[in-house]
Amino acid sequence: MENLCALIFQALSDPTRQKILTLLSKKEMCVTEIGKHFRMTQPSISHHLDILKRGGLVVNQKRGKEVFYRANCCIRVPGCCQDFLGKLGLVIKCKES
């Protein structure tokens, strides 16, 4: 579980990945669509998406030749992340309905 915690923190530590995650929280997109928002190559975008996927922050689905990505709305923060943040005096709160 601690490995997943490190992957989540790694995924969120980069401003490019934060922007990608923000885009994908609004709508599902393929790599080409995501790339229109950045000045970088498609392989670089794919690399960032892979890191987000390993952290469980995005999910993907292949349709024909394209792979579509979206933010994972059902991520569960591992207890190790909560414990670490708690040691820093930070608390994870669920968004109230």
Q: Tell me the pLDDT tens digit for each residue of 27-54.
A: 999 999 999 999 999 999 999 999 999 9
Instruction: Answer yes or no: are the C-beta atoms of 69 and 34 closer than 8 Å.
Output: yes
The domain 2-87: what is its CATH number? Answer: 1.10.10.10
pTM of the model: 0.80
C-alpha dist (Å) from residue 35 to 55, 90, 92: 20, 34, 32
C-alpha to C-alpha distance for 9 and 12, rounded to whole angstroms? 5
